A and B are shown apart, each in its own frame.
Chain A
Amino acid sequence: MNERPVTDVSGLPTFGHGPRSPTWWGTLAFMALEGTGFALAAAAYLYLAVSWPEWPLSAPQPNHWPGTIVTLLLIASLVPNHILDRYAKQCAIVPVRIGLVVMSLLGLAPLLVRWFEFPALNVYWDTNAYGSMLWVLLGLHTTHLITDVGDTIVLTVLMFTRHGYSGRRFGDVGDNVFYWDFVVATWLPIYLLIYWVPRLG
């Protein structure tokens, strides 16, 4: 078929931040499917909690302090996370490198506390269904946390190489910031479910 040129796109940029970038939309889609998984796991917990009048099945209440410290650390990490986002949009390589190092450390810190969070649940996964669901919820979020921290560390190393100063990589940093927000946001309802719902009864 013959062609008739009507548009010249050579002046367009070669990368974009946020919703302009396909990767941002891909990240959003992954958040949707992971969020659905979390929501279903939470729904399963509530289904069992409503099904059994004696919930949490005579198990002791979980010690909420390690979980609360994780929550505070995660909320505090949002501030440098968004500062990093601003520098990524400006394609400012040095502050982005510093910001990524900070975010890697702020990702590792809640993981360290999380190590103490599992025994503080005061119930094992094989004690009863209540214990199973607590371990599943915490395990799901821990997997989520580990994968994102791993991703952040790899990106940090990458930004210190010659490949770092590239529009595409600054876009990746922006998407990493976006995803970390999601990691924090998914934790809050899980935190309430694990530590405060058992105290309601």
Chain B
Amino acid sequence: MTGADLTSGRDLRAEAQAKGDLAPEHDGPRDTGMEQADLQRWLERTWRTPPGIIGALSSVDHKVIARRYLITAFVFLCLGGLNAVAMRVQLSGPQRGLIGPDLYNQLFTMHGVTMMFLFAVPIVQATGIYLVPLMVGTRNIAFPRLNAFSYWVYLSGGLFAWVSFALNMAPDVGWFAYVPLSGPEFAPGKRADVWAQMITYTEVSSLAVAVATIVTILKQRAPGMSLDKIPLYVWAMLVTSFVVVFAMPAVMITSTFLILDRLVGTHIFNPAEGGDALLFQHLFWFFGHPEVYIIFLPATGMVSSIIPAFARRPVFGHLGMVLSLIAVGFLSFGLWVHHMFATGLPKLGASFFTASSMMIAIPNGVQIFCWLATMWDGRPVIRAPMLFVFGFFFIFVIGGLTGVMLASVPLDLQVHDTYFVVAHFHYVLIGGSVFPLLGAAYFWFPKITGRMMSERLGRLHFWLAFIGFNAAFFPMHIVGLWGMPRRVYTYPAELGWGNINLFITAGAVVFFLSFVLFTFNLVHGALKGAAAGNNPWEAGTLEWATPSPPPSYNFARIPVVTNAEPLWAERDALPVATGLRVDARELLVSTVAEAHPDIREKSATPSIWPLFAAFAVGGTFLYSIFTPWAIVWGALPIAVTLIGWFWPKGDLEDEE
């Protein structure tokens, strides 16, 4: 019945002709009526990553790129963690001489830069790159070459920062790089330039992933996956990607203004010539506060995937959860000024931002109560992923409470720039993001590798991480209230902060060791873990319908969705669409709201040009810390590589 939609009885070919779609088309073998083994052979030939080094560097498979992202981000986490341990050893007693002030400034800058820009955002986006196409039932992410480009940009941006550290050129101005301390007058040399260009360059990668994610979710959902049937994790990634699109340009503008002030002598942040240093903070925090939610929102999506799988029931209040995610996304843009209460703002402005900062607790609270209701109403099975979810509840709620405290101007003025603030944001960021991420690692590891991680080691890992984390960061609230300032490399013995800092350092070491155990469990699981099967947790969303690990083409036939948890609704046989070509990388494009099938469009083939384009852009940014002419000369290789990327290759049948 060629051209017919059996679910609606629509004649799709007639509709297409009525819309004027009379474009030249090519035809080839379809999946209709094909035997499963033949179909899989065809699809593997069409969608596989080519063999060899060049093939690997050309890959545009979202799973290959996501795995690279995940591993790279994990390496950066370890490096950032080592920075933290080094700082904590220095602070474990008064007036220790292990690390001097110059190196300490580089360490805490690299720790912040690495954790925020090279670990937290990339790893949540990488998880989305892997999971979103599988969860929406498509064969690849939208704009696969852009996705590949984003990885190479991210990798080279991270190397840019860490090689500069190895060469004693690392930024030493904090991850926020406030002017005037990062300006030309107070930060001679190239350290602040490295910060500025590395930030701009790396954020190109985040923006590219956000665009690809948005379009994948809006246009590539499986037939039938209308807005009310989109999994909550996918909703979380959609909202996050919108927040990235509207927040990240702020930090790029900030870093671009900074490099212009430093390199070509503009005066944007120079009050002596009509500029304003406070403008830097406004622009930076217009990005910086949404950044917290860019990290947190995907983590809530992970929690919303883990809890129903182990509670054996759909999430309570699906619509309320979606509205809460959207509300958090909106409100995240109205909070930035609470980072600047100590800068002497007008009282009316401070009151407004106090209110908006407290207001964001409402949608977050709705989510937490929906999760609790889901567990209350279900029959929770406690496995390692759930333990990390419980850890998330405990830690994030404490972080949220101290957040409400800091939103109050009088208290904020008292504890500003003390360890109380350090404790608060680590509770929020690690509780709100890292614990859900660890839970997600245990949850989706079987899908990614086809093997299970050790449950026993997972439980031990949880308790080490939970105890180590709280031992390290809870006392920071106390030492902060005692007045210990942040960003200091040492303190005098007579202040009496020695013992508590020793305890904090011991906690930090335990927390770090928990990651050593996690690494062992990852490697051991990947090599020797028990076979996982397609759906070891008996979860309900589409990624579990594919083999573990998923084949290059994700799904032999595109699923048709009738329920928010399709695998629970369709236990006998998954409804699927047929009619896609198997000799070309054809994707099914659907309508935005209802996800009706609309177009069969080709997905990009592997290409080495995204790698070359990333080299060209990276080289331009690197060279531009020395001369502004780099932008002029760099434009040429960038243009050449982009043309190579865009230009169709081979015969017409091979076109993307």
Measuring CB to CB, which residues of chain A are less than 8 angstroms from any residue of chain B? 1-16, 19-22, 25-26, 29-30, 32-34, 36-37, 40-41, 44, 47-48, 51-52, 55, 57, 89-91, 125-133, 135-136, 150, 154, 158, 162-163, 165-168, 170
Apart from the given pairs A14-B601, A22-B215, A44-B279, 17 other A-B contacts in the complex at a CB distance below 8 Å: A1-B545, A1-B573, A2-B573, A3-B575, A6-B560, A9-B12, A10-B30, A15-B601, A22-B143, A33-B245, A33-B249, A40-B250, A48-B275, A125-B264, A129-B274, A132-B267, A166-B23
Measuring CB to CB, which residues of chain B are less than 8 angstroms from any residue of chain A? 1-7, 11-14, 16, 19-26, 30, 32, 142-143, 146, 207, 210-212, 214-215, 218-220, 223, 245-246, 248-250, 252-253, 257, 260-261, 264-268, 270, 273-276, 279, 282-283, 286, 534, 545, 556-558, 560, 567, 570, 572-580, 586, 588-589, 592, 597-602, 639, 643, 646-648, 652, 655-656
A13 touches B600 (CB 8 A): yes
Q: Which of B143, B207, B246, B589 has the most CB of A within 10 A?
A: B589
Q: Which residues of B contact A90 (CB under 8 A)?
A: 20
Nearest chain A CB to B411's CB is how many angstroms away?
A: 28
B655 touches A8 (CB 8 A): no
Q: Give CA–CA (A55, B274) in the complex, Å.
A: 8
Assuming the contacts A133-B268, A162-B652, asked whether A11 and B3 have C-beta atoms less than 8 A apart, the reply is yes
Q: Which residues of A contact B643 (CB under 8 A)?
A: 154
B601 touches A7 (CB 8 A): no
Listed A/B pairs (17) with beta-carbon separation below 8 Å? A1-B567, A2-B574, A6-B575, A7-B579, A8-B4, A9-B579, A10-B32, A10-B579, A12-B13, A13-B599, A14-B600, A22-B220, A22-B589, A44-B279, A126-B267, A165-B24, A166-B23
Nearest chain A CB to B502's CB is how many angstroms away?
A: 45
B578 touches A9 (CB 8 A): yes
Q: Which of A29, A48, A135, A167 is close to B211, meaning CB atoms less than 8 Å apart? A: A29
Q: Which of A128, A154, A167 is close to B23, meaning CB atoms less than 8 Å apart? A: A167
A16 touches B599 (CB 8 A): yes
B21 touches A16 (CB 8 A): yes
Nearest chain B CB to A88's CB is how many angstroms away?
A: 11
Q: Which of B215, B252, B574, B655 has the most CB of A within 10 A?
A: B215
Shortest Cβ distance from B3 into A: residue: A11
Q: Give CA–CA (A170, B20) in the complex, Å.
A: 13
A11 touches B143 (CB 8 A): no
Q: Which residues of B contact A30 (CB under 8 A)?
A: 211
A41 touches B25 (CB 8 A): no
A163 touches B246 (CB 8 A): no
Nearest chain A CB to B227's CB is how many angstroms away?
A: 15
Shortest Cβ distance from A3 into B: residue: B576
A40 touches B253 (CB 8 A): yes
Q: Give CA–CA (A52, B276) in the complex, Å.
A: 10
Q: Give CA–CA (A127, B30) in the complex, Å.
A: 66
A170 touches B23 (CB 8 A): yes
B283 touches A40 (CB 8 A): yes
Shortest Cβ distance from A22 into B: residue: B219
Q: Give CA–CA (A31, B279) in the complex, Å.
A: 24
A11 touches B246 (CB 8 A): no
Q: Which residues of B contact A132 (CB under 8 A)?
A: 260-261, 266-268, 275
B223 touches A7 (CB 8 A): yes
A29 touches B215 (CB 8 A): yes
B598 touches A20 (CB 8 A): yes
Q: Give CA–CA (A41, B283) in the complex, Å.
A: 10
Q: Which of A5, A10, A11, A163 is close to B652, meaning CB atoms less than 8 Å apart? A: A163
B268 touches A11 (CB 8 A): no
Q: Which of A8, A165, A170 is close to B32, meaning CB atoms less than 8 Å apart? A: A8
A22 touches B142 (CB 8 A): yes
Shortest Cβ distance from A25 into B: residue: B215
A8 touches B534 (CB 8 A): no
A11 touches B16 (CB 8 A): yes
Q: Which of A11, A126, A135 is close to B11, meaning CB atoms less than 8 Å apart? A: A11
Q: 3 closest Cβ contacts across the A-B interface?
A: A11-B3, A167-B23, A11-B13
Nearest chain B CB to A79's CB is how many angstroms away?
A: 23
Shortest Cβ distance from A40 into B: residue: B253
Nearest chain A CB to B623's CB is how many angstroms away?
A: 17
Q: Give CA–CA (A90, B19) in the complex, Å.
A: 11
Q: Which residues of B contact A130 (CB under 8 A)?
A: 274
B576 touches A136 (CB 8 A): no
Q: Which of A41, A129, A163, A168 has the most CB of B within 10 A?
A: A129
Assuming the contacts A21-B599, A166-B23, asked whether A47 and B279 have C-beta atoms less than 8 A apart, the reply is yes
Q: Which residues of A contact B22 (CB under 8 A)?
A: 91
Q: Which residues of A contact B253 (CB under 8 A)?
A: 37, 40-41, 44
Q: Which residues of A contact B273 (CB under 8 A)?
A: 57, 127-129
A7 touches B23 (CB 8 A): no
Q: Which of A32, A33, A52, A154 has the most CB of B within 10 A?
A: A33
B279 touches A9 (CB 8 A): no
Q: Give CA–CA (A52, B275) in the complex, Å.
A: 9
Assuming the contacts A33-B207, A33-B249, asked whether A9 and B267 have C-beta atoms less than 8 A apart, the reply is no
Q: Which residues of B contact A11 (CB under 8 A)?
A: 2-4, 11-14, 16, 579
A14 touches B218 (CB 8 A): no
Nearest chain A CB to B151's CB is how many angstroms away?
A: 18
Q: Give CA–CA (A165, B648) in the complex, Å.
A: 12
B267 touches A128 (CB 8 A): yes
Q: Which residues of B contact A40 (CB under 8 A)?
A: 249-250, 253, 283, 286
Nearest chain A CB to B426's CB is how many angstroms away?
A: 29
Q: Which residues of B contact A168 (CB under 8 A)?
A: 601-602, 655-656
Q: Which residues of A contact B556 (CB under 8 A)?
A: 3
Shortest Cβ distance from A130 into B: residue: B274
Shortest Cβ distance from A135 into B: residue: B266
Shortest Cβ distance from B562 into A: residue: A6
Q: Give CA–CA (A36, B3) in the complex, Å.
A: 42
B2 touches A19 (CB 8 A): no
